[in-house]
Amino acid sequence: MKILHTADWHIGKILHRQSLYDDISYFFDWLVQRITDEKIDLLLVSGDIFDLANPSNMDTKLYYQTLYRLSKTNVKVIITGGNHDSISLLDAPSSLLDVLDITVVGGAKDDIHNEIIPITGTHGEVECIVLAVPFLRDKDLRQSMQASEMADKSSFISEAIKQHYDKLVEMTVEKFGHSAPIIAMGHLYMQGSITSDSEREIHIGNLEGLDSKIIHPEIDYMALGHIHKPQKIGNKNNIRYSGSPVFLDFSERDYDKMVIEIEIEANEIKSITSVAIPKSREILKFTGDLNSVKNMLMEYQNKYPLTTFIEIEIQENEFDVLKIQAMEDMIDSIKSEEFKILKNRIFFDQTPDSMKVILNESRTIQDLSPLDIFRQKLSENKYSMNWK
Ligand SMILES: [Mn+2]
């Protein structure tokens, strides 16, 4: 059987006031085609389906349209909730989606048996078992541990998550033996993962991330979500983030977006392959002095179906307020079908101290994350913060 692992769709994401609706739509077209062509049997989506807990009607429609198209390909779908998702929003249509062979686990189940999903082949034999674990919220973790076992916050989270998976593996082995591979899903922040600027931090107090050693050895493949760059964890081929299918931030521009395909044969994982998703939009950063950036913009030709998003960073030698005006004029005067400038900044190698404040203040709220604002507030009030 063939499994396709993806995560972090973030339907509804707005990047610097530009909707990424077209980007995710391109991905969905490609995904449906890929599943049809490759005869994928099972699709796993490991959390962060929507960018917001209350998505727009248009985004919700796109989600259901996509699920309908997927159901037409005969693929079985398992969707788990992420830290961005509303549990009740995902879970509300679950009995209806069951009819289309789509299982949704928005939040941790009271009876964790319901997170164990055996996948059967045409002759009724169990081909693999999926542990459909959504993002585990604080209250879920507290339930699975005794109050007396709670030490400091960080080791508590790590221990409680480990116990959740261990329990599931134990129940699975008890019921199905060791005959079929165990595929676990998770929306977790693992130690050693390379993040971008678009993940919202999860499990405050666990900033270092989880050690991959907590993953039970009986788990044959770990289908992770949360981190937006595709990667293996702890150098292990079978513990992977698929990453998000679309670029959610400028910091994600230097690598391909991926899905992971897993093939199971004779009750064993035969291959794990990452497959690059064709790019629908280019995301670029142009750096240099004003003139060279201007030239780069003039010469730029878009080869992709969607308008390119460009970030510009002007670097000039000596401080000159006219250069700031010239940059703004240049941005205003450029009208292009090929690209949009979403972010701009100017730096001077030599800036008089008195001007540094003004330059800093010209940052807009869109340039800041909630954490940046919190940090700024703390420093204004002279509180120190000893976590990064
Ligand atoms: Mn995410």
Produce one character per residue of 203-239: b if its CB has 16 or more CB atoms within 10 Å, e if not: beebeebbebebbbebbbbbbbbbbbbbbbbeeeebb
User: Residue 355's pLDDT is what?
Assistant: 65
Residues in the chain: 388
* Residue 73 covered by a domain: yes
SS3 21: helix
387 has pLDDT over 70: no
Q: To which H or E segment does residue 296 belong?
A: helix 290-299
Please give the model's pTM, rounded to 2 decimal places: 0.89
Name the pLDDT band for 173 (thresholds 50, 70, 90).
very high
**86-100, 138-152, 183-197 — which one is most confidently predicted on average?**
86-100
- How far, in Å, from the CA of 124 to the mean position of ligand 1? 35
Burial level of 122, CB count in 10 A (0-12/13-18/19+)?
exposed
- How far, in Å, from the CA of 27 to the mean position of ligand 1? 16
357 has pLDDT over 80: no
Q: What is the pLDDT of residues 226-235, one digit of tens each?
A: 999 999 998 8
310 has pLDDT over 80: yes
- How far, in Å, from the CA of 356 to the mean position of ligand 1? 34
Instruction: Tell me: do 77 and 154 sit in the same domain.
Output: yes
Q: Which of 255, 199, 191 is nearest to 225 (CA)?
A: 199
- How far, in Å, from the CA of 237 to the mean position of ligand 1? 21
Instruction: Tell me: do 181 and 225 sit in the same domain.
Output: yes
- How far, in Å, from the CA of 239 to the mean position of ligand 1? 17
- How far, in Å, from the CA of 190 to the mean position of ligand 1? 13
Q: What is the pLDDT of residues 22-58, one digit of tens each?
A: 999 999 999 999 999 999 999 999 999 999 999 999 9
Residue 320 or 144, more confident: 320
147 has pLDDT over 80: no
Instruction: Tell me: do 304 and 242 sit in the same domain.
Output: no
Instruction: Tell me: do 87 and 231 sit in the same domain.
Output: yes
Instruction: Tell me: do 325 and 297 sit in the same domain.
Output: yes
Distance CA 76, CA 120 (A): 10
* Residue 386 covered by a domain: no
User: Residue 377's pLDDT is what?
Assistant: 80
- How far, in Å, from the CA of 187 to the mean position of ligand 1? 9
Q: Which tokens is 200 given?
A: 């919202």
Q: Which tokens is 306 given?
A: 């969607």
- How far, in Å, from the CA of 16 to the mean position of ligand 1? 17
- How far, in Å, from the CA of 244 to the mean position of ligand 1? 7
User: Residue 116's pLDDT is what?
Assistant: 97
Distance CA 115, CA 167 (A): 11
- How far, in Å, from the CA of 225 to the mean position of ligand 1? 7
- How far, in Å, from the CA of 51 to the mean position of ligand 1? 8
Q: To which H or E segment does residue 225 belong?
A: strand 221-225
* Residue 40 covered by a domain: yes
Q: What is the pLDDT of residues 55-82, one digit of tens each?
A: 999 999 999 999 999 999 999 999 999 9
- How far, in Å, from the CA of 85 to the mean position of ligand 1? 9
Q: What is the pLDDT of residues 265-290, one digit of tens each?
A: 999 999 999 999 999 999 999 999 99
Instruction: Tell me: do 185 and 252 sit in the same domain.
Output: yes
**Percent of the chain residues past pLDDT 90, beyond the cut:** 69
* Residue 220 covered by a domain: yes
Say which CATH number the domain at 150 has. Answer: 3.60.21.10
- Domain residues for the domain of 359 are 283-380
Biggest CA pair distance of the chain = 76
The residue out of 276, 303, 326 marking a domain boundary is 276
- How far, in Å, from the CA of 159 to the mean position of ligand 1? 23
Radius of gyration of the chain (CA): 23
Instruction: Tell me: do 333 and 236 sit in the same domain.
Output: no
Name the pLDDT band for 384 (thresholds 50, 70, 90).
low
Mean pLDDT rounded to a whole number for the chain: 90
**Percent of the chain residues past pLDDT 70, beyond the cut:** 90
* Residue 387 covered by a domain: no
* Residue 385 covered by a domain: no
- How far, in Å, from the CA of 8 to the mean position of ligand 1? 5
The residue out of 276, 303, 327 marking a domain boundary is 276
Q: What is the tally of structural domains in the chain?
A: 2
Q: CA separation (Å) from 221 to 179, 262, 274, 311?
A: 15, 9, 14, 37
Mean pLDDT to the nearest integer, 194-209: 72
- How far, in Å, from the CA of 324 to the mean position of ligand 1? 35
Instruction: Tell me: do 225 and 329 sit in the same domain.
Output: no
Instruction: Tell me: do 176 and 135 sit in the same domain.
Output: yes
- How far, in Å, from the CA of 77 to the mean position of ligand 1? 19
* Residue 353 covered by a domain: yes
Residue 382 or 337, more confident: 337
Distance CA 5, CA 263 (A): 11
- How far, in Å, from the CA of 226 to the mean position of ligand 1? 4
Distance CA 242, CA 71 (A): 22
Mean pLDDT to the nearest integer, 310-316: 93
Instruction: Tell me: do 300 and 237 sit in the same domain.
Output: no
- How far, in Å, from the CA of 299 to the mean position of ligand 1? 34
Instruction: List, as one string, the DSSP characters of 127-187.
Output: EEEEE---PPPHHHHHHTS-GGG--SHHHHHHHHHHHHHHHHHHHHHHHHTTSS-EEEEEE
Residue 319 or 372, more confident: 319
- How far, in Å, from the CA of 130 to the mean position of ligand 1? 21
User: Residue 349's pLDDT is what?
Assistant: 84
Q: What is the pLDDT of residues 238-270, one digit of tens each?
A: 999 999 999 999 989 989 999 999 999 999 999
Instruction: Tell me: do 234 and 330 sit in the same domain.
Output: no
User: Residue 144's pLDDT is what?
Assistant: 66
The residue out of 276, 301, 322 marking a domain boundary is 276
| Contact between 130 and 183 (Cβ < 8 Å) | yes
Name the pLDDT band for 388 (thresholds 50, 70, 90).
very low
Instruction: Tell me: do 38 and 63 sit in the same domain.
Output: yes
* Residue 180 covered by a domain: yes
